[in-house]
Amino acid sequence: MADAGLALSPPRAMRARYYRVIGLCLAALLLVLGLPWFAHWRQSRAPFQPASLHMQLAASVVPVAHLQTAIQKLGLRPSQLRAMMPLAPGQEAVVGQLHFTLPAKIPAGSQLALFAIDERTRQAVQWFWGWSPGAETTSGWDGSFSGFAVRYPWLAPLADEQMDSRLEVSIPLNAKSPLTFYAALDLDALPVVDINKDVLFALGFVGPQRQVYWAQRLQVTASR
């Protein structure tokens, strides 16, 4: 004969504790799985977007024989930005200014880099120099820049290793506008007809861990 006082199911308190334990285990699992994703999302999330820089690009193409004169017309002395070798007679160069407004806070170790690609040959320019008020402007190459080619097909020429070339001009994080620059174009290419079709300008932003935040293609809106 069955004992009428025997409980056939767990007490309500035991069931509630059981569900709490299951809930805590699921929450811990989701936290473990979600933390790497959240860290990656936060790392790859740009602290600001291109529109906040209010960029305006003015540029023109000149023979290298007139390059220093064109730079001086922009208000710079040779001691600030000098047309340097290697430049060959008959070669063309693009000279211009990028106006911008930097955000108040930019993560230390970040980099804003201006690129120029000769669309006639689909090659990045090999001799790119610049100057801006308030801070020393640098030219060079960083291996992280190849990440722009992965994300943006129109920056495919940046995929090649260019360890010894001056393929970009970096805007110092404490610089003042404008950035004045020049870039030597491909010696063997035909003369530039339309600067916005023949030369591609882009500003790229990489973070402190050399992660690619974004790249913005720039249109020349005025001639200099």
Are the CB atoms for 183 and 127 separated by under 8 Å?
yes
pLDDT band at 203 (very low <50, low <70, confident <90, very high): very high
pLDDT value, residue 224: 63
Domain 50-222 is in which class? Answer: mainly beta
Q: What are phi and psi for residue 146, nearest 5 degrees?
A: -65, -20
pLDDT value, residue 40: 39
By C-alpha distance, which of 170, 173, 88 is closest to 131? Answer: 170
By C-alpha distance, which of 120, 122, 105, 130 is closest to 203? Answer: 130
Give this prediction's pTM: 0.77
- CB under 8 Å to 70, separation ≥6 — which residues? 60, 62, 95, 182, 224
**Within the chain, where are the H helices?**
12-44, 67-73, 146-151, 195-198
- The per-residue pLDDT for range 48-76, each reduced to its tens digit, is 999 999 999 999 999 999 999 999 999 99
pLDDT value, residue 35: 42
- CB under 8 Å to 171, separation ≥6 — which residues? 98, 100, 102, 112, 113, 114, 132, 137, 179, 203
* Domain definitions of the chain by residue range: 10-45, 50-222
Are the CB atoms for 113 and 161 separated by under 8 Å?
no
Residue-averaged pLDDT of the chain: 83
